[in-house]
Amino acid sequence: MYKVDNYINGEGCSVSNESSKIINPSYGTQIGEVLYANNESANRAVDAAYEASKLWAKTGLSYRAELILKFRQGIINRSTEIVDICVSEAGKTRPDAEAELDRAVQALTHASGVQHFLTTNFSQNVAGGIDIADLRFPIGVIAGVGPFNFPILIPILHSAMAIVTGNTYIAKPSEKVPSISRLFADIWNAAGLPDGCFNVLNGQKEIVELLVRHEKVAGLAFIGSTAAAKSLKMLGVEHNTKVQALGGGKNHMIVLPDADLDMSADAAVSASFGAAGQRCMAVSVVVAVGDIADDLISKIQTRIPNLVMGVTDDANTQLGPVISKENRDKIYSFIESAEPDGASVVIDGRKRSDELNGCFVGPTLIDHVKPGMSVYENEIFGPVLCFVRAETYDEAMEITHGHKLGNGAALFTRDGGVAKKWSEEIQAGSVGINVPIPLPTYSHSFGGWKDSGFSETKAFGPSSIDFYTQTKSLTTRWPNPADSKVDLGFPRNY
């Protein structure tokens, strides 16, 4: 049994009035305890980050990039330890945790190239002897709220971009998976990051809202549920805190009649049940167009029983648990609602998961799902695949566009013309053609549309810089004093 403390201004902090259990989802048993920050320690972390930001903002880009690379090497050196924690606390399979770590290392590689993307505009002689330049500055203290399903990647993505652009950072990891962010603090410290530049506060909703309201916190990056994202965005507006809030997804995969059905079935099963369906980019809905529906669902159905479900410290496991028993029970309730709403449960995963201890939900396939049903309208965030039937491409698009969420979408087809048309019409932030989980690399944009994103900027890609920085325009002129005179007219550009 271990305890996870907070990290403030270069030191661990065990001052706490409240804590919660850390559960291994594979077994449903307690393995640790996380100490929550109280208001006093949270304020100390903000003050430390605020004071540290005054000097850190003035450091050079090359120096910051060098520290990013040192931190990156520290992550690689302790990769086994990080993956082990992810397996035990988040319930991920080892290959899935290792893949997440790889993406995190790639994010650090991208951040270390800050000199290539932290650029501004300069216009020479826009009017007689006048030059104009855009100057870019860090915004100050940034807090990052990480979800339980990506405890490695998201804290690294947020903190690296904040720190390399000259900000200081406060991590608020999910209380269900706190140990990795706390380990990151030690790795940042070993890399030479000054005290106060990276802090960790554990807790729940109250700590997050304190950070948004705090006058010394300039920005908050959040990834989580749509309800929480919308609430935090509104709170940020109220307190003039910059909030980048990304919500949930209900990602539709449309399969056209000309698609390779075996490839489509493989993709649907992989993208729906990987990480036990706990990805905001997971395929939640397959929309079969035309007369392929029976064949396609049959192919999906035959693949599901072959998935090996079990504890994630077993190397043979493909499908691990969901994060908690509470989440399991919520997912069970969605499955329970399907047939009374008019759908057909083709494979009820509860029959498999009821045989296991821990927080398991077996892979579930539900046919004849329609808009308005609970399983369709809600982000289930578990290994449940909804199968929708559409007569035509236009009907499939109407169904997809009718959903309030627009995080991702995919199309399976061999028709390039239709694919191009779809890519321009589909209302989602990250879309893939014959790619079921179209998560882009870091030089490209990632962030949802509609109720999947409450932000003017993306989580990564070119616009992400605008969240971590602010600009001012500088207009300069060096005239001859002999030509100076009083002129009350509006400035003219000549």
Sheet holding 122-127, edge to edge: 122-127, 130-138, 469-477
| Total Cβ atoms within 10 A of residue 344 | 13
Q: Single out the catalytic residue among 197, 280, 359, 386.
A: 280
Which H or E run contains 335? helix 325-338
Asked whether the beta carbons of 141 and 46 are under 8 A apart, the reply is yes
Asked whether the beta carbons of 467 and 445 are under 8 A apart, the reply is no
C-alpha separations of 194 from 10, 44, 108, 199 in Å: 8, 16, 18, 11
Which H or E run contains 255? strand 251-255
For residues 90 and 23, what is the distance between their CA atoms, to the nearest angstrom? 9
Active site residue 197: no
> Can you spell out the DSSP letters for 47-91?
HHHHHHHHHHTTS-HHHHHHHHHHHHHHHHHTHHHHHHHIIIII-
Alpha-carbon dihedral sign for residues 75, 78, 81, 83:
positive
How many angstroms from the chain centroid is the CA of residue 90?
15
Q: Which two tokens stand for residue 349?
A: 């995963």
Asked whether the beta carbons of 312 and 320 are under 8 A apart, the reply is yes
User: Percent helix, strand and coil across the chain, each rounded to 5?
Assistant: 40, 25, 35
Q: Which two tokens stand for residue 474?
A: 């500088």
Asked whether the beta carbons of 196 and 169 are under 8 A apart, the reply is no
| Total Cβ atoms within 10 A of residue 416 | 9
Bridge pairing between strands 408-412 and 430-433: parallel
* Residues whose CB falls within 8 Å of the CB of residue 77, separated by 6 or more in sequence, listed in order: none
Asked whether the beta carbons of 136 and 471 are under 8 A apart, the reply is yes
Catalytic residues: 280
